[in-house]
Each structure stands twice: as structure tokens, then as C-alpha cells.
């Protein structure tokens, strides 16, 4: 891949003079039927009129129609080159900056674009490349960068896990005492210069040093107790080099993202934070400094530490999820500093209640002083869809309730103008009508469902038999070998398969033709698994577009977009459903397809469902009632489906809860309540099945060790769980003495990397698992579903997996 390395040049220098145009984001649309904001006259890139105090923490990078996704995948497949990828990327950045400038945003971020992940960008900036990637020095190019993200033929990728409590995944830095840091990526400076060449003055954004280090993990061979903060003196000189370059390029502001401050940090961690910024103070001279926090309240001690920093010009807080921060500010805010008030939700798609937000802003202004409040988003808009103007499937009423990233930019500026005394009365009036419409719409409320939810809270919904007895009954029926093999659910989604689903949705082919085409795909997947010797089969989910959207399309209370894509990681995007009303299941959703697949084989065929907590956490959820109320509604719908599958003769049913850990609140004081209702919702789904029906669940790409007791409390018969990409971190919890009596399948290989592990490597992983888990409960499976892989990769990897299981099985018999 050496030919992909980038030269140390400005991104613009290698691009054609004229960039092909992409559709620019629209201006505000909810309630105004897509009326556009009036552009302001400009001179040399600056508004003649005084810009309002408005700010955006960050913006989606994938493009309104996933332009970055397709450019990346084309590049990875060797169909296009470096110049093509850089051209698409530069065009996206330029359109984003111009949209914000034209909307009137004063503080426009740069360096929030990424080819894969912003934490990986910071690793590149610091030159913290693990030695296995063979990088020595110089500017980090695409070859090393994408190898860290995705792995390559010879080495695995770095670990990937959830970014706080979102569905976005970041690449986890691997650090230790021997890492030699160096300034190895000038991306932040290059992108600032790129915007400046367009006449747009931006605020470069960097992941703050405390967040970067505390989200890192010890490199392989480094003691697990290694203190990451011991490296802070080694990375600060690199940050200082970046500051010098930015100042030389003409930067006047810099933004540090320090969301780690909303966590429960101890005294030593807060002191390290304070010391770091005090140490950087002289290097930051000449720059206005903004420290942005988001996703929750900032605890009192962290707030005190943060606001005592002398080098900081402005402090950013989340006023959507951080409801108690207002009380802290009332108790004291540093005189003369700016308050960046995140009142526009960066994590959901509901239109802002402009009047309510304006009242909050006015109350803040009374505390901190006039002209000291900057209107902002609660966090980066990375976590919401890009532009509502691209939506043709949503009806007029529902659209009036929504705002995507492009519309939120306009909301921010409208609030800033109103705060300064220039209120758009028509906009506020239309917004108020939209809010009223949503509150009174009959499509939102179903009294019968609400009564059912009230009733389920009166029981804890546990199965009547202990798991050990259930496993014995299930083994008599299923007759599985030791170390049974299975996969997680999905098989590769080919271009032909996606075309068939598109044609069926567009009514270009009949029901009969569609069912026959899906049946052929099922037969191919079943035959492959039988040939490979897999024990418990899946049908491959050929009929499904997405594990959440597929179910939401068949439940009431859900709406769906055409282009409401959100980045999950790298080029992987998801299109979250919108839960706008009470949820019910009008009819069976999977029974037809699961029954068809089971008839094709004598092996057990898993019925595949997505669990209520995952459907909740991977949707845009209504914000007019508690999340647990909505979750219980979904749980009752899934319960009906589980019982219908059992009646149809499906003896193994998997209820995926991939996102259970993701929804865990960031503050320890709030976690017990969440885990209680989330686990309860899962148990509701399967509490009434027979002992002989085996209930599986699946979880992936999060840190599960700290919630292992809640996972046990879910009372599933078998859990398959990501393990290999996280370097078998999960096994440590069993080494520490936790007893797990149900079936468990820690993943034996990483499906998000094109690398195919050998049978010997997988066998070694299985033996590591057997050192801490009983062979009677251990299952063998990949980390996650196979949807994103090619069939050639799947066949080789699963063949090696089955061979490894048979090898270890034979060794167990001998011993």
C-alpha cells in the first residue's frame, strides 16, 4: 500500500483548480416549508454587518448523500486514487464551511472533518502509531492511517469502541511509556488554511489532551495499570507545535474538545487537566481558547477546575443533556469570559423549541453579562442526519417537527439574532405552530399501549426456571457438540441483493419474484453453512436493510427517511428510524422468513430479532416522554414476535442487544436506574417462552466488563459478544472471578477488518477462553455480523473458525 502515502503538501495543492460541485445544505426548513435564509453581503470573506454570536461544535462529514462513504470504499477497492478521494473530501469541507458562513455563523469549526475518525486523526497528529504498522517517521499517509483503522493483510486493526454514550465508534489509541511522540500530521493546520483560502475564518478543533489520554488503552505488553496521564508531558510539546503553526497561518481561535470532563473524574485527573492547560498557557498566547464539553452535566468539581483556567476565553456546555449546569453557572461564572451555550440538540432530529431556548439564553445572559453568551449546539452535529431538504418520504406534518444538521445551523443563528434583539417573528411563529402540532397530533398517542406499559412495571418478568436447568433441557432437544459454532446473523449484502430490495420497494418487481429471489439467497447461505460444518445456522438476513430499520418499518409509531444517514464508523453509515409516537406491532414481522429458512435444513435455524434497548438506542427517539416508557412499548412488541416464532417451531431465537452498553449514562449516579429498566425490557421479550426454547443475545464494540452483572441479570441462555478486536479485554472479567453459568461466545475474529485469521490463531483464542470458561458453556463465533464483508472473506474466515473449533474439540476429547 506504499503507493498511497501522501506527500507533505497542502490538501489544495494536489487538487484540480475547479472542484466538482456537491449539493449545498439547505437552510432552515421546519414549519417554513424550506424557506432559505437571506444571504448577507460579504467583503473579503467577512460579513459587512456584525456577525451574531453563534457557534457550531462540529458538523457531519459524510455528505448529504454519503459522498464520503462512496469515495472511501471506491478508494479502498482500488477503483479510484488519492486525488479522487481528496477531491471529494475537499469539496465536502468547502460546502460545509460555506453553508455555515452563509447562514451567519460567527465561530465556524475546522478540522472536524475526518477520513475515518477524529481520535485516529489525533493519534496521527501525535505520531502515536503502534509499531506493528511499520511507520518510522515523516507525515503519516493513507497507507498507515487506514491500516490502523481497518488492518491489512498482515496486521490487525486497532480496537474500535463507542464514543461515550453514542453510536459513533472511535479508534482507541494504544499507548505506553516507550511511545515516541512526534508531529506527524499537519491536517489541522492544512484545513484551517484551506478554509482561509475560501475567505472563511474558522476555529480549528482539537481533541483535548485529557480526553485523548483517558480514552486510550495500554499497548500490547504494557501493564494494564499503566497511568495514561504520565504521558501528558510528552504530548504537550506536540500540541504546542500545532499552536505555533496555527498562529503562523493566522488563526485567532482554537477549540479543545474535552467531553471527558462530564465523567466522574478523580482529584488527580482534574489536577492533571488543570496543570496541562496551565502548562500550555504561554504557547496559547495570541489565541482565543474555547474548551467544549458535551453529552452531560459537568460535575461541580470539574466545573470549578475548568472555569478557573486563566488561558481560556470561552467555555462550552451542553444545556440539552446537561440540565444541572445552569445551576452551576448561577453559582458563579468567571467575569469577562464567554459562555458557549449548547441549547440546540446535536444528538436528535427534533426541531428546537425556539421560544423556550431563547428564555434559557436570556436567563444565562442575565448571569454572565450581555454579549457574553454565544449560542451553540449541544455537541457536534456529527450525531444527527445531514439535511432535511433531501427527504421526500416524510409527510408535511412530520417534517414540521424536525430539524437535521443543516436546519440546526439556521436555528443556532436565529437564536443568536433574537438574543441580540433581531428576532425573526415569522420563523418563531412557524416554529411555535410546529411544536403545538406535535403536542396535539393524534398519531402520537395510543392509550391502550400506555395502559399495557403501566401494567408491565408491576412484574420483573423473569423466566420461571433457572438457566442451568434450561440449558440441560435445550441440549436434549438440540443435541449440539462441545464448542458449538454459529454466526451472529447477517451475511454479505451483495450489490444484486440490494438491487432486488430497491426494485421491490419501488414496486418494479412482484411479491412472488421478490420472495423467490430472497429464497434463493437463503438457500445459498444455508448451503454454505452446512458445507462449512456450522452447528447453529442463520438465514443471513437477505430480506433486511438494517437491523433496526427493518423492524421499525413494521411497527407503528416509527417514520423513515430517504437520506437521514449518520456515520457509525469509517464508511459505515446507519439510517436511524424516527420514533415519533407510541409503538405497537400490527402483525408478525419475521415468522414467514424464519419458517422458510428452517425448512431448508435439519440444523437449528436462529430466529433473528433486534432487542428493544438496541432499537431505542439506535433510533432518533421522541423527547416528549421518558426513554424507558418508549423502550417498554418496543419490548412488548418484540415479546409478541418471540412468542409467534416459538409457535412456528423456531427453537433458537436471538434477540440482539448490541447497544445495551451504549445507552449507559456517563455519570455513575444515573447508571443503576438505566440498567434496571434496560435489563427489565429485555426480560419482558422472552419471559414466557418454554424452557426448551433457547434465547440468545448479542453485544458488540463497547466495554462490557463494568456491567457484567447486569448482563448476567438479563438471564439469556447464550450471549455472543465482541472480544477479538478489543484484544480479549472481556476475558479479564472472568479471570477476576466472575462466574457466568449461561452459554457464552466471545468473538474469535474481527469482522470489521479484511484480514483473515488462520485456524491456528483462532484455536489459540479458543484455548485462552477455555482457561477461564467451562467448555460446556463456550460457543465459537465471530465478533459481529458479516454484512459488510465479501463472500470470499467470509468463506475463508468461517472455514478457519470451524476448523479451529474441531481442533480444540478433539483436544478436549483426548484430555
> Residues with catalytic annotation?
752
Q: What are the distances in angstroms from CA 375 to CA 207, 413, 415?
A: 21, 7, 7
What is the C-alpha separation between 704 and 469, in angstroms, rounded?
Answer: 26
In a 10 Å sphere around its CB, with 0-12 CB exposed, 13-18 middle and 19+ buried, how is residue 440 labelled? exposed
What is the C-alpha separation between 47 and 58, in angstroms, rounded?
Answer: 21
What sections of 385-510 are H helices per DSSP? 396-399, 405-419, 425-440, 447-456, 467-478, 495-505
Strand 253-257 to 288-292 pairing = parallel
- Where on the phi/psi map is residue 775: left (φ > 0), alpha (ψ -120 to 50), or beta? alpha
Q: 491 near 787, Cβ under 8 Å? A: yes
The number of angstroms, rounded, from the C-alpha of 438 to the middle of its chain's C-alpha atoms is: 27
Contacts of 538 (CB under 8 A, 6+ apart): 486, 487, 488, 489, 490, 491, 525, 529, 605, 606, 608
Q: What are the distances in angstroms from CA 221 to CA 68, 130, 224, 225, 772?
A: 36, 12, 9, 12, 20
Q: What are the distances in angstroms from CA 453 to CA 87, 680, 809?
A: 52, 12, 46
Per-residue cell: 91: 469539496
| Geometric angle at alpha carbon 567, from 563 and 569, rounded to 5° | 150
What is the C-alpha separation between 605 and 455, in angstroms, rounded?
Answer: 33
Contacts of 108 (CB under 8 A, 6+ apart): 56, 97, 100, 101, 195, 200, 201, 202, 203
Strand 202-207 to 108-110 pairing = parallel
Q: Which helix (H) or strand (E) holds 744?
A: strand 743-746
Q: Which helix (H) or strand (E) holds 255?
A: strand 253-257
Q: 641 near 584, Cβ under 8 Å? A: no
In a 10 Å sphere around its CB, with 0-12 CB exposed, 13-18 middle and 19+ buried, how is residue 174 labelled? buried
| Geometric angle at alpha carbon 542, from 539 and 547, rounded to 5° | 90
What sections of 322-401 are H helices per DSSP? 325-330, 354-368, 396-399
Strand 578-584 to 556-559 pairing = antiparallel
Per-residue cell: 534: 456450522
Q: DSSP string spanning 67-97?
A: HHHHHHHHHHTTSS-HHHHHHHHHHHHHHHH
Q: 575 near 393, Cβ under 8 Å? A: no
Using the 8-state DSSP alphabet, how is residue 704 labeled? -
For 476-494, give one letter per residue: b (16+ CB within 10 A) or e. Answer: eebebeebbbbbbbbbbbe
C-alpha torsion angle, residues 107, 111, 112, 117 (rounded to 10)? -170
In a 10 Å sphere around its CB, with 0-12 CB exposed, 13-18 middle and 19+ buried, how is residue 554 labelled? middle
Strand 169-171 to 160-162 pairing = antiparallel
Contacts of 253 (CB under 8 A, 6+ apart): 107, 203, 204, 287, 288, 289, 290, 313
The number of angstroms, rounded, from the C-alpha of 559 to the middle of its chain's C-alpha atoms is: 20
Using the 8-state DSSP alphabet, how is residue 19 labeled? P
Among 747, 749, 754, 758, smallest CA distance to 791 is for 754
Amino acid at each position: 500500500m506504499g503507493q498511497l502515502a501522501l506527500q507533505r503538501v497542502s490538501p489544495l495543492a494536489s487538487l484540480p483548480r475547479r472542484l466538482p460541485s456537491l449539493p449545498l445544505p439547505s437552510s432552515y426548513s421546519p414549519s417554513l416549508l424550506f424557506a432559505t435564509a437571506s444571504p448577507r453581503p460579504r467583503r473579503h470573506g467577512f460579513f459587512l454587518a456584525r456577525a451574531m454570536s453563534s457557534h457550531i461544535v462540529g458538523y457531519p462529514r459524510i455528505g448529504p448523500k454519503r459522498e464520503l462513504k462512496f469515495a472511501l470504499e471506491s478508494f479502498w477497492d482500488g477503483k479510484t486514487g488519492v486525488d479522487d478521494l481528496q477531491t471529494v473530501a475537499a469539496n465536502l469541507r468547502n460546502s460545509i464551511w460555506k453553508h455555515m458562513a452563509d447562514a451567519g455563523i460567527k465561530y465556524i469549526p475546522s478540522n472536524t472533518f475526518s477520513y475515518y475518525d477524529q481520535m485516529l486523526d489525533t493519534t496521527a497528529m501525535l505520531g502515536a502509531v503502534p509499531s506493528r504498522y511499520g511507520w518510522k517517521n515523516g507525515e503519516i499517509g493513507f497507507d498507515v492511517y487506514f491500516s490502523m483503522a481497518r488492518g491489512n493483510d498482515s496486521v490487525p486493526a486497532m480496537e474500535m469502541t463507542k464514543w461515550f454514550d453514542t453510536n459513533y465508534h472511535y479508534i482507541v489509541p494504544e499507548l505506553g511509556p516507550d511511545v515516541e511522540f512526534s508531529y506527524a500530521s499537519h491536517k489541522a493546520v492544512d484545513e484551517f488554511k484551506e478554509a482561509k483560502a475560501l475567505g472563511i475564518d474558522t476555529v480549528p478543533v482539537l481533541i483535548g489532551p485529557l480526553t485523548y489520554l483517558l480514552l486510550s488503552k495500554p499497548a500490547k505488553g504494557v501493564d494494564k495499570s499503566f497511568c495514561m496521564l504520565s504521558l501528558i508531558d510528552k504530548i504537550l510539546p506536540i500540541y504546542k507545535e500545532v499552536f505555533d503553526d496555527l498562529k503562523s497561518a493566522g488563526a485567532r481561535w482554537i477549540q479543545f474538545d474535552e467531553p471527558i470532563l462530564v465523567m466522574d473524574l478523580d482529584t488527580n485527573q482534574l489536577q492533571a487537566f488543570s496543570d496541562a492547560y496551565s502548562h500550555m498557557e504561554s504557547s496559547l498566547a495570541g489565541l482565543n481558547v474555547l474548551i467544549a464539553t458535551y453529552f452531560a452535566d459537568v460535575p461541580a468539581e470539574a466545573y470549578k477546575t475548568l472555569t478557573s483556567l486563566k488561558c481560556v476565553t470561552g467555555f462550552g456546555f451542553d444545556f440539552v443533556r446537561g440540565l444541572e449546569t445552569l445551576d452551576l453557572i448561577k453559582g458563579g461564572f468567571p467575569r469577562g469570559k464567554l459562555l458557549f451555550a449548547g441549547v440546540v440538540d446535536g444528538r436528535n432530529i427534533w426541531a428546537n423549541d425556539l421560544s423556550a431556548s431563547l428564555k434559557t439564553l436570556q436567563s444565562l445572559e442575565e448571569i454572565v453579562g450581555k454579549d457574553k453568551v454565544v449560542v451553540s449546539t449541544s455537541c457536534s452535529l456529527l450525531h444527527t442526519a445531514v439535511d432535511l431538504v433531501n427527504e421526500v418520504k416524510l409527510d408535511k406534518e412530520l417534517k414540521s417537527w424536525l430539524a437535521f444538521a443543516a436546519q440546526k445551523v439556521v436555528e443556532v443563528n436565529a437564536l443568536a439574532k433574537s438574543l441580540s434583539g433581531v428576532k425573526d417573528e415569522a420563523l418563531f411563529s412557524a416554529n411555535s405552530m410546529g411544536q403545538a402540532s406535535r403536542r396535539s397530533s393524534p398519531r402520537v398517542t395510543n392509550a391502550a399501549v400506555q395502559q399495557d406499559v403501566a401494567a408491565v412495571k408491576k412484574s420483573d418478568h423473569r423466566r420461571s426456571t433457572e438457566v442451568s436447568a434450561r440449558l440441560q433441557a435445550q441440549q436434549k432437544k438440540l443435541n449440539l457438540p462441545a464448542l458449538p459454532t454459529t454466526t451472529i446473523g447477517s451475511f454479505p449484502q451483495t450489490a444484486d441483493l440490494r438491487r432486488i430490495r430497491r426494485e421491490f420497494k419501488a414496486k418494479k418487481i412482484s411479491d412472488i419474484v421478490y420472495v423467490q429471489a430472497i429464497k434463493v439467497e437463503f438457500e445459498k447461505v444455508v448451503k454454505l453453512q452446512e458445507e462449512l460444518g456450522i452447528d447453529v445456522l442463520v438465514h443471513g438476513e437477505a430480506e433486511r436493510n438494517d437491523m433496526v430499520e427493518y423492524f421499525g418499518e413494521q411497527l407503528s409509531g416509527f417514520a423513515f427517511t430517504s437520506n437521514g444517514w449518520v456515520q457509525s464508523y469509517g464508511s459505515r453509515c446507519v439510517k436511524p428510524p424516527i420514533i415519533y409516537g407510541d409503538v405497537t406491532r400490527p402483525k408478525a414481522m419475521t415468522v414467514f422468513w424464519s419458517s422458510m429458512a428452517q425448512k431448508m435444513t435439519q440444523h437449528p435455524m436462529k430466529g433473528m430479532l433486534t432487542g428493544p434497548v438496541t432499537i431505542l438506542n439506535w433510533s432518533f427517539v421522541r423527547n416528549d416522554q421518558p426513554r424507558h416508557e418508549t423502550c417498554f412499548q418496543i419490548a412488548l412488541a418484540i415479546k409478541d414476535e418471540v412468542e409467534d416464532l416459538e409457535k412456528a417451531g423456531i427453537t433458537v431465537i436471538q434477540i440482539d442487544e448490541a447497544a445495551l452498553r451504549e445507552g449507559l449514562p456517563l455519570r455513575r449516579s444515573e447508571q443503576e436506574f438505566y440498567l434496571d429498566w434496560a435489563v427489565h425490557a429485555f426480560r419482558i421479550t422472552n419471559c414466557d417462552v418454554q424452557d426448551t426454547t433457547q434465547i440468545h443475545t448479542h453485544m458488540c464494540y463497547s466495554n462490557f466488563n463494568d456491567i457484567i452483572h447486569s448482563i448476567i441479570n438479563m438471564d439469556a441462555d447464550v450471549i455472543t459478544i465482541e472480544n477479538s478486536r478489543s484484544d480479549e479485554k472481556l476475558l479479564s472479567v472472568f479471570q477476576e472471578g466472575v462466574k457466568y453459568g449461561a452459554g457464552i461466545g466471545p468473538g474469535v475474529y474481527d469482522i470489521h477488518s479484511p484480514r483473515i485469521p488462520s485456524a491456528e490463531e483462532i484455536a489459540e483464542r479458543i484455548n485462552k477462553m477455555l482457561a477461564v470458561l467451562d467448555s460446556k458453556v463456550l460457543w465459537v463465533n465471530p465478533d459481529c455480523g458479516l454484512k459488510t464483508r465479501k463472500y470470499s472473506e467470509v468463506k475463508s474466515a468461517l472455514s478457519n473458525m470451524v476448523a479451529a473449533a474441531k481442533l480444540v474439540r478433539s483436544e478436549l476429547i483426548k484430555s
